[in-house]
Amino acid sequence: MIISFDDLKKELYAICIQYGYCEDKSEIISTVIAESTLDGVYSHGVNRFSQFIKFTEKGIIDKDANPVFKAEFGSSEQWDGCSAPGITNARFCMDRAIHLAREKGIGFVSLSNTNHWLRGGTYGWQAADAGMIGICFTNTKPNMPPWGGKDSRIGNNPFIIAIPRDSGNIVLDMALSQYSFGKIHQFKLNGEKLPYPGGFDKHGNLTDDPVEILEEEILQELVQRLGIRFVDLVAKHRELDPEIMDDISTARIYLANEAIELGLIDEIGYLNDAVSQAKKLAGLPDNAKLVVYRRTEYPDDNLYNTATRFGSGNLSLISVDFLSAFSQFNTGFYYLWPSAAMNE
């Protein structure tokens, strides 16, 4: 099926309007995505649109937000993106950089709290079309290892250089590795292998299989989200000094006495102490029984979902006396259930 540029842009525009975007933002977003797709950059064009809408639905992208001025110094400015669409944020900031350059000879603009800007080259073209040399770059989450490493520690950041000229602008738009992740996704969608190895599988081996590379990326993203969740919970409930929060954000492992000194925990105890405290917080009687929920055993289980066999049967729900029977179980999730206490 062949879809014309105008039809694609019209459909993208209509969907943006449907999800609550104003006409101006819908026009900019639909134009940028359609132009990237027309240029053959599907990985940062129409292929990303479903994720863009999904992030809008989840509130990750604030459709009503606009950049807010933060600070300026000479020919530089700082803006807060306020979680608005990355496309409109980036376009706005490049406009500001062009304005500063015309006024002062050079313009620097930085943007925080934004979302994916899709094809970075879009904003290089914006600068070149205005007769300016443009350099654009952004950070991203750690998704690739440094040279000689295996664990993801640095971002596959885009880097754009644009130079205007009468016979046609020169625009370099590249990732810091052989492939952008959008391009790897495109190979996956097409059911194709990469021309050259482009990442690591879960065993740490180089591979040209986009499915295996993206599987490792998903795992890394899950770990990162768990870390962010932990830091958010600590910030919300522990009321620690900013310096301590900065230290915790490095995601290191703390010994029990270190955790007490930092204020992460209140006291050191055994699991039965934690259960007793949980009973008090939940308002349960001291003789409340422990109910263990389990699932079928899997060979690759981890400490968060481990299933074990108790006695001769494979049970999914059991109620046992904690102190006498806990040693027979491996690590799992344990819940105090008021019904168990009342029934027994």
pLDDT means per 10 residues in the chain (344 residues)?
92 97 97 95 90 92 96 96 96 97 96 94 96 94 76 84 96 87 83 87 83 72 70 80 74 76 81 83 82 55 40 39 44 43 40
Longest CA–CA span in the chain (Å) reads 86
CATH of domain 1-119: 1.10.1530.10
- CATH 1.10.1530.10 residue ranges in the chain? 1-119
Distance from C-alpha of 258 to C-alpha of 248, rounded to nearest angstrom = 11
Report pLDDT for 293: 60
Report pLDDT for 1: 78
Range list of H helices, the chain: 5-18, 23-38, 49-58, 86-104, 121-129, 181-190, 210-237, 242-248, 256-262, 271-282, 322-325, 338-343
Of 44, 99, 116, 237, which residue is the catalytic one? 44
Q: CB count, 10 Å around CB of 136?
A: 23
**pTM of the entire structure?**
0.63
Q: Which residues pair with 159 in a beta bridge?
A: 137, 174
| Cβ contacts of 333 within 8 Å, gap of 6 or more | 293, 304, 305
Computed from CA positions of residues 230, 236, 238, 239, in that sequence, does the dihedral angle turn out positive or negative?
Answer: positive
Distance from C-alpha of 79 to C-alpha of 89, rounded to nearest angstrom = 9
* Tokens, residue 114: 């934004």
* Tokens, residue 246: 């900065």
Report pLDDT for 337: 43
Among 281, 278, 330, 326, smallest CA distance to 307 is for: 330
Q: Is 44 a catalytic residue?
A: yes
Question: To 10 degrees, the CA torsion angle through 231, 270, 266, 225?
Answer: 0
* Tokens, residue 98: 């062009």
Q: Reduced to 3 states, what is the DSSP secondary structure of residue 136?
A: strand
**Contact by Cβ (8 Å): 124, 134:** yes
**Contact by Cβ (8 Å): 332, 290:** no
| Cβ contacts of 91 within 8 Å, gap of 6 or more | 28, 32, 122, 123, 126
Report pLDDT for 126: 97
Instruction: List, for residues 275-313, the tens digit of each pLDDT value.
Output: 888 888 888 888 887 776 655 554 444 444 434 433 434
Kindly provide the b/e burial profile for residues 39-68, where b requires at least 16 CB atoms within 10 angstroms of the residue's own CB. eebbbbbbbbbeebbebbeeeebbbebebe
